[in-house]
Amino acid sequence: MKIKQIAVWLLPLILLSIIYLAYQYLTFSYTITTQGIVYPYREWTLAKTPDGNLINSLKNNYNNTITNYTVTEFQRGDMAEFSIREEIFRKAYIEKDDTIGLISSNTEVRRLLELEGELNSQQMLLAFYASGEKPEEVQVAYDKMILARQQYETQDKINQRNKILFERGHIPAEEYEISENEFLISYQNYLISRSQHEALLSGAKSEQLDYIRANINSLEQNIAHLKGLIDAFTITSPIGGKITRKQGINSEFDAILRVADTTRFVVIIPVELYNIPYIEPGQLIDIISPMSGQPIPATVFNFDSSVQTLNQRQHIFVSALVNAQDAAGIFPDMRVDARIPSGPINLNDYVRRFMNEIYNN
- pLDDT on residue 23: 64
pLDDT band at 250 (very low <50, low <70, confident <90, very high): low
Under the banding of pLDDT at 50, 70 and 90, the label for residue 51 is confident
- The confidence score (pLDDT) of residue 284 equals 92
State the pLDDT at residue 170: 74
Q: Where are the domains of the chain?
A: 28-39+263-360, 106-231
Of 137, 152, 147, nearest in space to 197 by CA: 137
Output the pLDDT for position 154.
85
Residue pLDDT, tens place only, 284-322: 999 998 888 889 999 999 999 889 988 888 899 999 999
Which of 98-112, 130-144, 297-311 has the largest mean confidence? 297-311
Position with higher pLDDT, 151 vs 62: 62
User: Which pLDDT belongs to residue 325?
Assistant: 87
Q: Which pLDDT band holds residue 162 (cuts at 50, 70, 90)?
A: confident
Is residue 232 predicted with pLDDT exceeding 70? no
Q: 324 pLDDT band (50/70/90 cuts)?
A: confident
Residue 2: is its pLDDT beyond 70? no
Query: Percent of the chain scored above 70 by pLDDT?
Result: 70
* CATH number for the domain formed by residue range(s) 28-39+263-360: 2.40.30.170
pLDDT band at 93 (very low <50, low <70, confident <90, very high): confident
